Structure 1
Amino acid sequence: MTEKTFQKKPGYYNEFPIFRVINLMKKNIGLQDSCLQTNEIAILYLEEQSLESGNNEIFIKELCSKFKVSLGIRDFEQFKSTLYKSYILQTYNLIEPFFKNINQTYRYYNNFDRDWKTQDDKGKNLDPFNQLLINLPKDKSQELKTYPEYFLFNYYRLVRNSIAHLQDSSNQHERTNEYFNNYIKCNIDFFKDNYEIIAPNSPESINFTDYILYTKSIKYFSNILNDLCFPSIHNLVILAQKDKNLQSKLNMTKTIKSDGMLLVRINTLRGFFHGHFNTNYKKIRDEFCKAYLEDEKVDCSKFL
């Protein structure tokens, strides 16, 4: 009997080398996670001690006096509600630049030389995430929209806008609620089953679980984005052919007269690949090297 292999939910694992911008995003999100989760422990402990004191108001006043803080909120529910909404803002401020970076990465590696669309067909400005979708090939864009996370990121962006721009747009909160009712409620069971988190919550009920879901989902879903944005071998070859530094190195073995010179050329191409991606994807690396040399009409079958 074959033993079943455990796969951690939601099971979004990358098949291609990870872009550096994704590793950087995960590092930044991880640092924020460690800070805010430690902060959550402190908040819950403070709330617990406040309840055990028997007099919440006196307890907070004594702490304010002890630590020389002029004012401390006594309503923990109001305090946590305000704080958790700020976590959504903070996370958005990490995720939005990431989407901008992944757009630039996609354009660079895929030799995207057309005008980058920043508006939809109706002339409405698009956020960076939806800019990516409108510029991707149609099949890839449609695939991304099949994931509940697509709606989740749009929702938390709207939540962020409701918090940050409440005074500027009277109907922003209404639009956020409408989006929650139309696109999020139907996916709550998916997030509960796959992320083991009871979230997302309605705009009025944003709490710590929303923050956890927001950060956890982008870390997993970035693997999907990575693979859909990863260039074809053909595009990698074009990128290499345009790289002046690589071409300068390859010129030293332009006329191949021995197996040794061919190996030097292959290793130079491998070094170029490793300069962009990690070393764990040797099969893709060597497919790139083979395609590059075949484009030069070089027989590399002895080594690749």
Structure 2
Amino acid sequence: MGNRPARNSTFYLPCRKRLWKALGEYDALVEYMELTTRKFKTLYNSQHELSFSEFLSKEAKSEDICLNNLTLENYECFKYKYYLILPYSAFDRFLDDFRKDFKLLFDKDVPLPQNKTRFQSILDFLKENFFAVQTDSFSYKLFDYYRLCRNSLAHDSLKKTTEIEAIFHAIKVDDVHLRYPNLDAPNDMKNLNFDDFILCTANIKSIADKLVLCLEDKMNWVDFVKRNSKLFSKLNRFKGNKERQVIYIENVIFSMYGIKLSAPYINDILEIFPIE
């Protein structure tokens, strides 16, 4: 989709894999919902005898559903706001999982001050500890925009129309279109369309990926193995066989984090374990 920059790393965290899986499942559900509504409208437009409410009622009865009309004003926009609930719920779970993965890697807790969102707390903590989170110029504004659009639907008390409009106008739309040239988005909150859901999901994935990637350069794999030796409990099976020990350690790290450590790193790690 669009001009995807090279990731230049195979490093990932378990939380990233879970997020990708959840978003893929949600994408399929939303695409199915969008397909069915478009097909329904196409079927309605193919006939000229019934009004929309009459046609809707007729088709609903044929499926044993009690539905006479859609009275919600601007229901199409409402539908697209509803779609936004799914990727943000997945991202919320990702943030919780990210903190757990971070704890395992660095033996540090990411604090969650009460006056900040989880996302902002994690961002601030990473920056304060010199992790370089490199996102697109529009990522955070776009994230906040769709988050507030979602909130305006999910929580009546959070219909901050003026704030939402201000954030929308602050988004660097040209940069968004340069990054995602095939999408007709972002759109203002009264004119959301399906591409807004696609863009929202893509931006969430991009932010999550950048959070993960910023950890790689700070990793000390020797310290990690020292603190988490239980993850390598089967190493004793290969006592006296250094080649198999090397392969085993490589495979454990690769299966968890997607990278293959260099030989010097593996040798330093093997010195931790009191086996030959």
Shorter-chain TM-score tier = 0.7 to 0.9
Distance 1:12 1:217 in 2: 16
Q: Does the Cα contact within 8 Å between 1:110 and 1:231 map onto a contact in 2? A: no
State the TM-score, normalizing by the size of structure 2: 0.83
| Contact in 2 for aligned 1:64/1:70 (Cα 8 Å) | yes
Deviation at 1:287, TM superposition (A): 4.9
TM-score (norm 1): 0.76
2:137/2:175 contact within 8 Å kept: no
Tell me which moved more, 204-213 or 102-111: 102-111
Q: Is the CA contact (8 Å cut-off) linking 2:57 and 2:69 kept in structure 1? A: no
Shift of 1:169: 4.4
Amino acid at match of 1:81: C
Q: Which residue of structure 2 aligns with residue 241 of structure 1?
A: 226
Contact 1:201 1:210 in 2 (8 A): yes
- String of CA shifts for 1:164-183, please: whole Å, max 9, x gaps: 222x246x23222222223x
Match 1:223 to one of 209, 227, 231:
209
* Residue of structure 1 equivalent to 2:176: 191
Query: Is 1:9 equivalent to 2:40 in the alignment?
Result: no
Cα 1:251/1:66, change in 2 over 3 Å: closer
Sequence identity, in percent? 21
Match of 1:40 in 2: 34
Change (3 A) 1:193 1:271: closer
Alignment partner, residue 218 of structure 2: 232
CA 1:51–1:247 in structure 2 vs 1: closer, same or farther (change >3 Å)? closer
- Change in 2 beyond 3 A, CA 1:247/1:44: closer
Other-structure match for 1:98? 94
Selected match of 2:161 from 173, 179, 185: 173
Alpha-carbon distance in 2 for matches of 1:222, 1:108: 18
Query: Structure 1 residues 18 and 217 mapped into 2: Cα distance closer, same or farther (>3 Å)?
Result: same
Change (3 A) 1:86 1:247: closer
Distance 1:277 1:177, change over 3 A: same
User: What is the Cα deviation at residue 274 of structure 1?
Assistant: 3.2
State which of 186, 196, 221 in structure 2 corresponds to 1:200. Answer: 186
Equivalent in the alignment of 1:213: 199
Match of 2:23 among 25, 29, 37: 29
Is the CA contact 2:15–2:98 (under 8 Å) kept in the aligned structure 1?
yes
Instruction: Indicate conservation of the 8 Å contact 1:233/1:287, yes or no.
Output: no
Q: Does 1:67 pair with 2:76?
A: no
Structure 1 position 229, deviation (Å): 2.4
Which AA in structure 2 matches 1:289? I
- The verdict on how the C-alpha distance between 1:211 and 1:151 changes in structure 2, with shifts beyond 3 A counting, is same
The Cα offsets for residues 137-156 of structure 1, whole Å up to 9 and x where unpaired, read as: 44856644653212222222
Cα distance change of structure 1 residues 51 and 246 upon mapping to structure 2, 3 Å threshold: closer
Seen in structure 2, the aligned counterparts of structure 1 residues 231 and 108 have a Cα distance that, compared at 3 Å, is farther
Alignment partners' CA distance in 1, 2:98 and 2:152: 25
**Of residues 109, 125, 137 in structure 1, which corresponds to 2:115?**
125
Does the 8 Å contact 2:127/2:133 carry over to 1? no
Q: Deviations over 1:214-262 (max 9, x none)?
A: 112223443322211236342x2112112242575557889xxxxx543
Distance 2:65 2:194 in 1: 25
* Structure 1 gap ranges (5+): 1-6, 255-259, 297-304
Helix, strand or coil at the partner of 2:124: helix
- 1:4-26 deviations in Å (ceiling 9; x for gaps): xxx96131515142212111211
Contact 1:197 1:209 in 2 (8 A): yes
8 A contact 1:180–1:202 mirrored in 2: yes
Work out the CA distance in 2 between the residues paired with 1:204 and 1:232: 43
> Contact 1:253 / 1:262 at 8 angstroms: preserved in 2?
yes
**Structure with the greater alpha carbon radius of gyration:** 1
